[in-house]
Structure 1
Amino acid sequence: MNEMGKKTAADAELMADKLRRGDRRALARAITLVESVRSDHRATAQILLNRLLPDTGKSVRIGISGTPGVGKSTFIEAFGKLLTGAGHKVAVLTIDPSSQRSGGSILGDKTRMEELVRDPNAFIRPSPSGGSLGGVARRTREAMLLTEAAGFDVILVETVGVGQSETTVAEMVDVFLLLLAPGGGDELQGIKRGVMELADIIVINKADGDLKAAASRAAAEYKGAVGLMRAKSKNWRPKVLMVSAMNKTGIDRLWDTIEEYRAARGVDGELAEQRKEQAVSWMWSELGDSLMSRFKAHEGVAAHLGKMEADVKSARIDPTTAAEKLLAIFLGK
């Protein structure tokens, strides 16, 4: 190993030691490191992650998605404060593929979660702005491992975007929560079946005051809808709960339900097997992203890509043939 390599390894080892001691500044720096696209930073990040791998995997990983206006920030703060009050250390991460266009709403959420952000047992980290969903997801996965190594035993992974981001979050957590407003009827029609099928627990928020009756009706409708869907697990049927994040009611029941979920899926190692499959899926995702990045950076491909795209648009060549030609250039055939 040359001198530069030795320094990189030494820097990674020093940062790893600080993380294991729960150094929050070191954690913030480590996440910034894994977010970087610089090759030297990526090299240090990979050494760091490998050093810390034995210290990861001990947390409860919870995915949270919700429709606009559902009160997600209030819910996360109420849930987070309940957990820290019970002695847990909570990290809040986010996947926001829209941040490259809008700047990302989690930054606003962070300022609104005033109590949680000041809690010494909580850590809130927005996703980096810009980049593809795959890139943001990769950094969120790595940030999840870093927060686990730093001693956080509950990781909340929030999706701010819509569509594919829900699937991405569901593929990296133990339990997926779908947070909904007490709209019932029309609200049920507006939720894509695919997102409903991802949910392990459906949470109806704002079940208070004038909306309590509507929340009860919505809960009944969602229970009916869940009953018609094929369960993801042989050991767990998705449950529907009502909470009021504003009044902090029903939140403790939610945590009890998450514990029930983990116990049910842990009986025959189902949850452990899910994590193993997620790790393999992450590997293939990384491989695909890396290959595509190298493919686009290839000089020969770059030289022909513009013309090939123009030929496909004008129907002078079909997309499959164009792809095969570009791949042949990339492979040097």
Structure 2
Amino acid sequence: MISVLEKDKIKYSALQEKAGIPAPEIFSPSVVKTIQKFRRIQPSSEELVNGILSGSITALSRAITLIESTNPDHLAKANEVIKACLPHANKSVRVGITGVPGVGKSTFIEAFGKYLTGMGKKVAVLAVDPSSTISHGSILGDKTRMEELVKDKNAYIRPSASGETLGGVARKTRESISLCEACGFDTIIIETVGVGQSETAVHSMVDFFLLLKISGAGDELQGIKRGIMEMADAIVINKADGDNIRKAKLAKSEFNRALHLFPAKKSGWTPTTSTCSAINQDGIPEVWATIEKFLELTKTNDYFYTKRSEQNEYWLMETINEQIKLRFYNHPTIQSLLDSTKKAVQNDEISPFAAAQLLLKEYFK
């Protein structure tokens, strides 16, 4: 008999196996034991750093897994790795790519990444998938969607779950950028969840912010909203192929007119609009040419370096907020009082604001 608890666990699980379908015996037990033994061996922070600096993808992946861990025991080791890699970071171009689901972000990134690796560049893609608010699971299927790029020896694709982060990026994406740079990747692409106007965190960790749009989907007026339009350094109308070419050109004109309604950027850069067909690789070289012009301008007027300094300050404050929150919920006194306080709030015995004040008072004793 399956208990009620087990039934609930199966019901809300992000991944399930169908009953009555046995696993095929296509693996060697000895190989499984070898893999399990290898996974149990935890490399030291020094070994991870040496591996990253020598260009080891395995070391990079294990280090990113380490810094993404919520286990408090991993924090000190993760900080050691990040600290050792920082002197070798900050030597890449960071490009954030966003757009509504279905706009073709993965297809565009694959075409864009292949174009860059064809030029001899090393490209790291940090792809963030949305996490379910029910099961807390995430599909992490970006490698499957980028079949060609994933096989490129000059490319690295790392999918991560967004977790509870509202801004469309994973909790540790900023640190992952530094590790990829230390591993020798000169172009970092961040593919975000695509959650609309709440997606602002990515803007605070990239040099160039690219907004992908599509035409003919009732998205034109939605895209003209302030917020995300003000952050974009370029707007690219994707899927400009077949019968959609005329609509894409019309959308380009509409967005171009809309951009003139916004105030001038501090960078001195005027946002551009263009069309492309990621599936046909049309318009991809023009996107990179736009990014190069942006970099030339912002490095000449020092905005590029000023923005990176401001981003470092921003992530200092974000990290402080995150650590305070983590320590608050891991505090023994808070853990012992939290459940009873929640029940009191649910039963209207105390207001949420008064309950929060009581818990904070206990924490700061």
Give the direction of change, closer, same or farther, for the CA distance of 1:297–1:104 in structure 2 (3 Å limit).
closer
1:38 is aligned to: 71
Give the direction of change, closer, same or farther, for the CA distance of 1:127–1:277 in structure 2 (3 Å limit).
same
TM-score using structure 2 length: 0.81
Cα distance in 2 between the residues matched to 1:129 and 1:211: 32
Cα shift at 1:31: 1.3
Identity of aligned residues (%): 48
1:182 is aligned to: 215
Cα RMSD (Å):
2.4
Range with bigger deviation, 219-228 or 295-304:
295-304
Out of 153, 161, 172, the position equivalent to 1:139 is 172
Give the direction of change, closer, same or farther, for the CA distance of 1:99–1:266 in structure 2 (3 Å limit).
farther
Cα shift at 1:233: 2.4
Cα shift at 1:314: 6.0
Cα shift at 1:135: 11
1:330 is aligned to: 363
Given residue 254 of structure 1, which amino acid in structure 2 is its aligned partner?
V
Give the direction of change, closer, same or farther, for the CA distance of 1:198–1:313 in structure 2 (3 Å limit).
farther
- Secondary structure at 2:200 match in 1: helix
The aligned runs of 1:216-231 (5 Å cut-off) are: 216-231=249-264
Cα shift at 1:304: 3.6
2:284 counterpart of 1:251: yes
Structure 2: runs of 5+ lacking an equivalent: 1-42
Cα distance in 1 between the residues matched to 2:265 and 2:91: 23
Out of 236, 239, 247, the position equivalent to 1:203 is 236
Cα distance in 2 between the residues matched to 1:128 and 1:67: 17
Structure 1: runs of 5+ lacking an equivalent: 1-9
Give the direction of change, closer, same or farther, for the CA distance of 1:136–1:241 in structure 2 (3 Å limit).
closer
Cα shift at 1:165: 5.8
Give the direction of change, closer, same or farther, for the CA distance of 1:69–1:138 in structure 2 (3 Å limit).
closer
Cα shift at 1:114: 1.2
Given residue 209 of structure 2, which amino acid in structure 1 is its aligned partner?
F
Instruction: Please give the per-residue CA displacement for 1:142-180, whole angstroms capped at 9, x wherever unaligned.
Output: 211111100000000011241466211111111111101
Cα shift at 1:222: 0.5
Cα distance in 2 between the residues matched to 1:115 and 1:331: 53
Higher RCO (C-alpha 8 Å, min separation 6): 1
Cα shift at 1:33: 1.5
- Secondary structure at 1:114 match in 2: coil
Out of 198, 217, 226, the position equivalent to 1:193 is 226
Aligned residues: 321
Range with bigger deviation, 307-316 or 218-227:
307-316
- Secondary structure at 1:193 match in 2: coil
Larger Rg: 2
Q: Which has the higher helix share?
A: 1
Instruction: Please give the per-residue CA displacement for 1:287-325, whole angstroms capped at 9, x wherever unaligned.
Output: 111111211222333344345445555665554443332
Cα distance in 2 between the residues matched to 1:271 and 1:44: 31
Give the direction of change, closer, same or farther, for the CA distance of 1:141–1:130 in structure 2 (3 Å limit).
same
Give the direction of change, closer, same or farther, for the CA distance of 1:234–1:57 in structure 2 (3 Å limit).
closer
1:55 is aligned to: 88
Cα distance in 2 between the residues matched to 1:134 and 1:225: 24
Cα distance in 2 between the residues matched to 1:102 and 1:305: 21
- Secondary structure at 1:152 match in 2: coil
- Secondary structure at 1:155 match in 2: strand
